[in-house]
Structure 1
Amino acid sequence: SYRPISLLSCLGKIFEKLLESRMALHTFNNNIIPKSQFGFRPSLSTTHQLHRVTNNIVHNRCNRKSTGLALLDTEKAFDSIWHQGLLSKLIKLNFPSYLINIVNSFISNRQNKVHILNSTSSTYTPKAGVPQGS
């Protein structure tokens, strides 16, 4: 599966990191991400989540209780993000308007080209998805 990656300049990477830290601060201060979700949270990883789940299974087994587990992995999640839906979520979650405007300018009217070997496609504007690769 081929998917586009974004190659940012050094200045672009710095700007993206600043944007990420501002958005993470708002997310943390407003308890937007549930404590049970370990992705996108500092000092937590899938290993921590696996340990937590394993402990719950062992605890329930010792107490003769059953345990159910549902896992969700959205295929091509970054490629299929609906721009208007993302902006609506940011508004609903009370992100500051300046951050919403920055995200809007970052995802709107992007132009892509595909380069394979010595061939380059014509420019196209993706209707969904967000840049990845920085």
Structure 2
Amino acid sequence: MIRLDHYPSQWKCAEIIMIPKPNKPENCASAYHPISLLVTFSKIFGKISLKRMLPVLEVQNILPEHEFEFKRGHGTPELCHRIVKIITSAFECKQYCAGVFLDVKKAFDKVWHPVLLYKIKKWFPAPYYRLIKSFLSSLTFYVKEKDAFSELYSNGAVLYTIFTADLPIANGLEVETYADDTAFIATSFNPSDASLHLQEQLNIVEKWLKNWKIEVNTQKSVQITFTLRTEKCPPNVKWLHNT
């Protein structure tokens, strides 16, 4: 397949099963989690191609330092440990540790394909680029109930990670990511300064997300302050002119 630069059309067709969300109206399409089922050969090839792609990501140094997926010695335990370490360090120094945790809305589903291919072409060998381009063309799916879309590619997470590898970061801010989950953390003795650092980062990220057509789920994104001090917590940051 890599030699032919072709992804079979039968492997690009997914069956979508709709899993209802709790306490949601059944007549609303957004009240369901769409789960895509690919043919077995497509899943196997996805695993094989991922093993070949990861060394390229490592050699080209594509994945940023703050990314904890698809990197050796990195994973959710290490990510949680990193965040906990930042928080406990702020406790020991009697600082405010303010964090914003962003949830991207349908991250893998809404990746802008032309831009993704542009970024892949810069870093990956030509056969990989042409194969991914072949896959992204003429994607098909069918559902048993309401129409929806889901991640049709078993390596969708790594492609999204490549797509967002150039996430801009403000100075003096901690950023940790795991695919589409992102944490921005600022520490300071002054609660207003901690909030200001976060706001500066969000202002930068807001423009960047808009450029690449990535949408944040504000209902699932939160701001949390960690501190042992009893004074007033940092002011809430604003996103899209809303707190």
Fold shared per TM-score above 0.5: yes
1:14-60: per-residue Cα shift (whole Å, max 9, x none)?
32112111211111112211222212324422222111111112112
- Picking from 61, 64, 78, the partner of 1:48 is 78
1:71-98: per-residue Cα shift (whole Å, max 9, x none)?
2221211111121121011123x21111
Structure 2 distance, partners of 1:130, 1:102, is 17
- Give the paired residue count: 123
Structure 1 distance, partners of 2:108, 2:55, is 22
* Percent of paired sites with the same residue: 28
Structure 1 counterpart of 2:152: 131
One-letter identity of the residue aligned with 1:59: S
> For residues 57 and 2 of structure 1, do their structure 2 counterparts lie closer, same or farther at Cα, with a shift above 3 Å needed?
closer
Structure 2 counterpart of 1:26: 56
Structure 2 distance, partners of 1:2, 1:75, is 13
List, as ranges, runs of 4+ consecutive aligned residues in structure 1 with deviation greater than 4 Å.
Answer: none
Is contact 2:120–2:129 with CA below 8 Å preserved after alignment? yes
* Runs of 5+ consecutive residues of structure 2 not aligned to the other structure: 1-31, 156-243
> For residues 133 and 18 of structure 1, do their structure 2 counterparts lie closer, same or farther at Cα, with a shift above 3 Å needed?
closer
* Runs of 5+ consecutive residues of structure 1 not aligned to the other structure: none
Is contact 1:78–1:132 with CA below 8 Å preserved after alignment? no
Structure 1 distance, partners of 2:143, 2:113, is 21
Q: Deviation of residue 3 (structure 1)?
A: 2.2
Asked which structure has the greater CA Rg, the reply is 2
Q: Deviation of residue 64 (structure 1)?
A: 3.1
> For residues 27 and 90 of structure 1, do their structure 2 counterparts lie closer, same or farther at Cα, with a shift above 3 Å needed?
same
Quick check: 1:7 aligned with 2:38? Answer: yes
Structure 2 counterpart of 1:75: 105
Structure 2 counterpart of 1:35: 65
Q: Which has the higher strand share?
A: 2
Q: Which has the higher helix share?
A: 1
Structure 2 distance, partners of 1:29, 1:38, is 16
Is contact 2:90–2:96 with CA below 8 Å preserved after alignment? yes
Is contact 1:4–1:132 with CA below 8 Å preserved after alignment? no
Structure 1 distance, partners of 2:37, 2:116, is 19
Is contact 2:68–2:75 with CA below 8 Å preserved after alignment? yes
Structure 2 distance, partners of 1:86, 1:103, is 10
Structure 1 counterpart of 2:124: 95
User: TM-score with structure 2 length normalisation?
Assistant: 0.45
Answer 1 or 2: higher relative contact order, Cα 8 Å, separation at least 6: 1
